[in-house]
Amino acid sequence: MIDIHSHIAFDLDDGAQTIAESLAIAKQAVAEGIQTIIATPHQKHPSFEHNIIQLRSRIEMLQQAIIEQQLPLEVMMGQEIRVYGEIVEDIKIDENILTLHDSKYVLVEFPSSTIPKYTDKLFFDLLTNEYIPIIAHPERNAEIAENPEKLYRLIKNGALSQVTAASVAGAFGKKTKALSLQLIEHQLSHFIGSDVHNMTNRPLHWKTAHEVIKSKMGYEYVSLLQQNARRVIANQHVAKRAPEHIQKKKFLSIF
């Protein structure tokens, strides 16, 4: 399995702080069935920023330690980029702004409470330049939780999204779990990402999340989510299904 969203790279953000913590995440990832994990430290975040030299150094050190531990895990490079208006220009000219595994896919994070007003134009510009935005953890955005139709519009216009394994597993509460499952079921989310930060309060929840999806929706959904992840690292087109509206009455019933 492939995890497209993690904070396994150490000493870069609020994820793993030491290589020992990174290795603990790596061991658990392997135990839960992950063979490939993309390190996506926060970038352009109000509290965190790094450069390509720092990130590459951490990944090389971690991958060597993983080999020494004989763990069957490959770590790839990426970033979770806090949304800002110049992403398109910076991807082209700034080596410190990365897509996922040097693909056309860009993992974009919204502020927790809002969707910036310029998002429609930004996503249009990304798509016009053949970059595909993947919205990180939309189920944890207050504006989307209040009105999932706003996510529907972004997906309809070409974006993708990734829900968090912990959300599906129920670690963020029943409401967030219910919304996460609705987003997947209505073709409004296309990937599972662990968004793992550490092994204490932000672990992977990977296996549990996939078991929940399988029990609620069937193996077909689990398989589709993983096919999509494989297409990202292969830089292939994600053949998403047509998004569906979440009926307001049905949505409100989870609260």
Kind plus residue range of the DSSP H or E element containing 18:
none
* List of residues 6+ apart from 145 with CB closer than 8 A: 139, 175, 176, 179
What does the DSSP assignment read for 189-248? --EEE--B--SSSS---HHHHHHHHHHHH-HHHHHHHHHHHHHHHTT----PPPP-PPPH
43, 80 in Cβ contact below 8 A?
A: yes
Compute the distance between CA of residue 149 and CA of residue 65 in angstroms, rounded to an integer. 45
89, 125 in Cβ contact below 8 A?
A: no
Give pLDDT tens digits for 69-97: 999 999 999 999 999 999 999 999 999 99
pLDDT of residue 216: 94
Q: Which two tokens stand for residue 61?
A: 């050190």
For residue 121, count CB atoms less than 10 angstroms from its CB and return exposed for 0-12, middle for 13-18, buried for 19 or more: exposed
Domain that holds residue 230: 2-252
Report the CATH number that the domain containing residue 113 is assigned in CATH.
Answer: 3.20.20.140
pLDDT of residue 248: 66
pLDDT of residue 247: 83
pLDDT of residue 249: 54
Q: Which residue has the tokens 């990832």?
A: 29
Domains in the chain, number: 1
**Rounded to the nearest 10 degrees, what angle do helices 206-217 and 174-185 cross at?**
60
Region of residue 87 (left: phi > 0; alpha: psi -120 to 50; beta: else) = alpha
pLDDT, block means (10 residues), the chain with 255 residues:
98 98 98 98 95 97 98 98 97 97 98 97 98 98 97 98 98 97 97 97 97 95 96 95 83 42
